[in-house]
Amino acid sequence: MKMKKELVLDIVCPYCHHSLMDEEVKIKGIASVGLNVRLEDNKKGKVHLCAAYECFDHQVDLPVADGEILGLCCPYCHKELLTSETCQVCGAPMADLSLSTGGFVRICSRFGCFNHFLSLEIPAV
């Protein structure tokens, strides 16, 4: 049992600002981050990521090979969330997600890598 309070992220699309939180799919009892995913062979599906920061639990509704790059898209405006920024661990494109509170999270698009970083905007006083 961890006593530390987990940081739960409230993710929105960086383009259309629609909430990406999916109340219907819960991971660890909290609403997950729901994204559309397109695989290298053009198969489409859904991925749900745990919204707790530093938890890498996730669900994908189609078989994904380890090491495959996921084309992550917003389910509302269908924009690709991948950026030109690359993962420092594996070189795959990083996907950009915004936080409703300001700031952003970048996650590695390579399945099985899960390198990510969080940048919280500290509001100016």
Is 15 a binding residue for Zn ion by CB under 5 A? The answer is yes
Q: CB 19 → Zn ion: shortest distance, Å?
A: 10
Q: CB 24 → Zn ion: shortest distance, Å?
A: 18
Q: What's the Cα-to-Cα distance from 108 to each of 23, 84, 117, 122, rounded to whole Å?
A: 24, 12, 9, 24
Residues 6+ apart with CB under 8 A from 85: 93, 94, 96, 106
Out of 87, 95, 97, 107, point to the residue binding Zn ion (CB under 5 A). 87
Q: What's the Cα-to-Cα distance from 89 to each of 56, 93, 94, 114, rounded to whole Å?
A: 16, 11, 11, 9
For Zn ion, give the closer residue by CB, 5 or 110. Answer: 110
Number of residues that bind Zn ion (CB under 5 A): 14
Q: Which stretch binds Zn ion (CB under 5 A): 3-11, 42-50, 59-67, 90-98?
A: 90-98
Q: CB 77 → Zn ion: shortest distance, Å?
A: 3
Q: Which stretch binds Zn ion (CB under 5 A): 2-10, 27-35, 62-70, 72-80?
A: 72-80
Q: Which of 89, 90, 91, 98 is nearest to 119 (CA)?
A: 98
Is 99 a binding residue for Zn ion by CB under 5 A? The answer is no
